[in-house]
Structure 1
Amino acid sequence: MKAHNFWHPVLKTKDIKRQPVSVNFCGKELVIFRGENGILGALEDCCPHRRMRLSKGTVRGNRLVCPYHGWNYDRDGKGTSPSTSGLRPCVKSYDIAEKYGAIWVKELHSTAELPVIVNPEFHQVCTLHYRIQAPLELLVDNFSEIEHSCTTHIFLGHDLEGISRVESYLEVTEDAVRIINKGPQRKIPRFLELLLGYKRGSLFVGELEVLFSPVHINIKNYWISPNDSEFRKGEAQGAVFFNPVNDQETEMMMFSFMSSELAVFSRFLNPLATFLLDYETKLDKKMLEGITNKNISIVGMQLGRFDKVLKLTRERIKSLYWQKDVISLR
């Protein structure tokens, strides 16, 4: 599948220690391990000898040792057998990289570049990882429209009274879908207003860019004054990457960043922002897993003005990510 040619985040960096870890990479089971030299390896999670999971093994020196018979492999998948000298078993290996607090993998000979997901003037707040019982397309639907913020979320976004006044703009290219939503901010606690520099009556703006190589969404959130276009406060940036486990389950990695003007408060703000983002995302997870019919087809749905993006993203996921022929979803 073309999807495996793209870099996907599969594990938080802090979750790999001395023991190897099993991960999912677009439906493939891999093992991630770190040698004593600190260098990471990513291999197929199956010993070619008797098909034991290598993730059940141990790391000795810079090699991954199968727990069943002691066959062992380096980060390139080149192996040796303690019992049969001269035997050279081999396990499929993958490219691996470490960035933004996550471990990324892709097919070995792919030329795809590791995504750059944030303005360098911003500093990272957190990396969060979830597994959600819903198909890839439904997760992309959820994170590319703002209407659900009225009922699903508590802090940022809009409420039911103000959603009709939200202006939404859509820009479409062959490889991206961009959405800008601008409207009244829902009421939030006063301490958050002071902390984030929010002014009462400001408009909440959410800029979303959905990309497909791999499937991910870049996000910018900030406030502007209705009467002063120069006012722009409390900007936060982030990215959401998706890793389809199967047709009914998807892993998701979230990266959150804070503007440099707030960096001086990072010791206090980072834990608070991490807690709030995790809390709000778990509300998304609960809502997505509660959908009664998780069929990705939009045929027969009665859609509103914020749902134009559904058809557009599905077509591009199919053609750019999976590289399949697209049949119009009209």
Structure 2
Amino acid sequence: MADAACRYRAGLQHWHPLLRSTELGRQPIRRQLCGEAIVLFRTASGQPVALQEVCPHRRMSLAAGQVRGEQLVCAYHGWRFDAAGQVSCPLMPAAELQQPAFQLREAHGLLWLRQPQPGETVTPALPHWACRDLEPAGVTFHTVPAPLELTLDNFTETEHTTTIHQVFGFRSPAEVELRLELEPAATKVWNSGPQKPFPRLFDAFIDIRPRDRFANDWVTTFEPPLTVYEQIWRRGDQLRRFRLRVVMFFLPISDTSTQLTTLLYMPRVLPGPLHRWFAAPIARWITAYELNLDVKALAQLADLNPQLSAKTLGPFDKVLLENRRRIQALYLKH
């Protein structure tokens, strides 16, 4: 059932990378976004379709139905739904019913979903980011048992990396140089400090050494919430060969859960197919491992209230208040 009270429902107007394109076939699947229950499927011609999940007849989940040709057939009474949401009723051929439908696009190996708005004449473009000389290294998905604001808090502050992370983090918060820049629709953060010690097994694969300096800079925008990280390591003036661009989307599933869709980019560090067979999977595994540590930490939160108290905020937390102002203005239900 759709959660009409979900505080993030206004976010449905933005494009969200919900799942891999290869995950969607003719078998209907269910997803939730901004409190809305959605059924997705491909028609016989391969067209991806997303509709409101609940059948308007007797409340059956359309995810229990079957695709026949270019329509989805409800498992309960055989009502049929086409890609535009037009409903065909076996015993009421004159009925003119319309099931709410969502827009879908395929890009970057992902299916992107949004809800068209009343009176809309122009569909917004998909989010974009620069790749330059970097190559895709994979996509990961994580479900975080915390609301959007608290999830974004975790990924847009630096202090916790010294305690939670094992590979990508700083040795001590006191040694980190921090700079924050605010723009009307974005927050920009620059962090730089000594890399924390990590298992030496990794340095054989990712070319990072003890006493390297780690820089983790990012830009966060909010339509939808998206943070693009640039992670590099230096020894003096020498830039290490290994670096990462991490493109992370924050998708509110409900008031208390958030999906992370993360695209990873890196330079080619090994020749020929060795990069694809070894370097990219290792980088993807390490990144997923670090993200799992974040998810485990957020699962231990004792209070999911997204409100902040200015009295408890330190120098690494100023960006959190700015993020909330932008989410309030651009994303929440008014």
What residue number does 1:78 align with? 86
What residue number does 2:3 align with? none
Provide, for residues 122-141 of structure 1, a one-character-per-residue CA deviation record: whole Å limited to 9, x for no partner. 22222222222111111111
What residue number does 2:4 align with? none
Alignment map for 1:220-299 (pairs within 5 Å): 220-226=230-236, 228=237, 231=239, 233-261=241-269, 264=272, 265-299=275-309
The one of 164, 172, 175 equivalent to 2:174 is: 164
Residue type of the alignment partner of 1:306: F
Residues 261 and 118 (structure 1), Cα distance of their counterparts in 2 relative to 1, 3 Å cut:
farther
Please give the TM-score of this superposition, normalised by the length of structure 1. Answer: 0.90
What residue number does 1:126 align with? 138
The one of 217, 221, 228 equivalent to 1:211 is: 221
Over the matched positions of the two proteins, sequence identity in percent amounts to 32
User: SS at the partner of 1:287?
Assistant: helix
Provide, for residues 157-205 of structure 1, a one-character-per-residue CA deviation record: whole Å limited to 9, x for no partner. 113xx33111111111110001111111122344432322335532111
> Is the Cα–Cα contact under 8 Å of residues 32 and 38 in structure 2 kept in the other structure?
yes
* Offset of residue 85 of structure 1: 3.1
What residue number does 1:182 align with? 192
Residue type of the alignment partner of 2:49: G
Provide, for residues 266-318 of structure 1, a one-character-per-residue CA deviation record: whole Å limited to 9, x for no partner. 21123222222222111111111111122111126522211111111111110
User: SS at the partner of 1:233?
Assistant: coil
> Is the Cα–Cα contact under 8 Å of residues 12 and 129 in structure 1 kept in the other structure?
no
* Offset of residue 3 of structure 1: 1.4
Residues 105 and 202 (structure 1), Cα distance of their counterparts in 2 relative to 1, 3 Å cut:
same
Comparing 77-86 and 47-56, the one that deviates more: 77-86
User: SS at the partner of 1:234?
Assistant: coil
* Offset of residue 216 of structure 1: 1.3
What residue number does 1:2 align with? 10
**Structure 1: gaps of 5 or more residues:** 325-330
Residues 200 and 286 (structure 1), Cα distance of their counterparts in 2 relative to 1, 3 Å cut:
closer
CA distance in structure 2 between the aligned counterparts of 1:248 and 1:2, rounded to whole angstroms:
16
**Structure 2: gaps of 5 or more residues:** 1-8
Query: Does residue 27 of the first structure (1) align with residue 29 of the second (2)?
Result: no
What residue number does 2:107 align with? 99
What residue number does 1:38 align with? 46
Provide, for residues 105-133 of structure 1, a one-character-per-residue CA deviation record: whole Å limited to 9, x for no partner. 11125522111134153222222222221
Residue type of the alignment partner of 2:44: E
What residue number does 1:116 align with? 128
Residue type of the alignment partner of 1:233: R
CA distance in structure 1 between the aligned counterparts of 2:207 and 2:163, rounded to whole angstroms:
25
> Is the Cα–Cα contact under 8 Å of residues 118 and 257 in structure 1 kept in the other structure?
no
CA distance in structure 2 between the aligned counterparts of 1:115 and 1:300, rounded to whole angstroms:
32
> Is the Cα–Cα contact under 8 Å of residues 118 and 238 in structure 1 kept in the other structure?
no
CA distance in structure 1 between the aligned counterparts of 2:142 and 2:111, rounded to whole angstroms:
14
> Is the Cα–Cα contact under 8 Å of residues 223 and 234 in structure 1 kept in the other structure?
yes
Provide, for residues 229-249 of structure 1, a one-character-per-residue CA deviation record: whole Å limited to 9, x for no partner. x63531211111112222222
Residue type of the alignment partner of 2:131: N
Residues 142 and 263 (structure 1), Cα distance of their counterparts in 2 relative to 1, 3 Å cut:
farther
Please give the TM-score of this superposition, normalised by the length of structure 2. Answer: 0.89
Comparing 306-315 and 237-246, the one that deviates more: 237-246
Comparing 254-263 and 176-185, the one that deviates more: 254-263
User: SS at the partner of 2:99?
Assistant: coil
Residues matched between the structures, number: 320
What residue number does 1:155 align with? 167
User: SS at the partner of 1:292?
Assistant: coil
> Is the Cα–Cα contact under 8 Å of residues 48 and 90 in structure 1 kept in the other structure?
no
Residue type of the alignment partner of 2:244: A
What residue number does 2:331 align with? 321
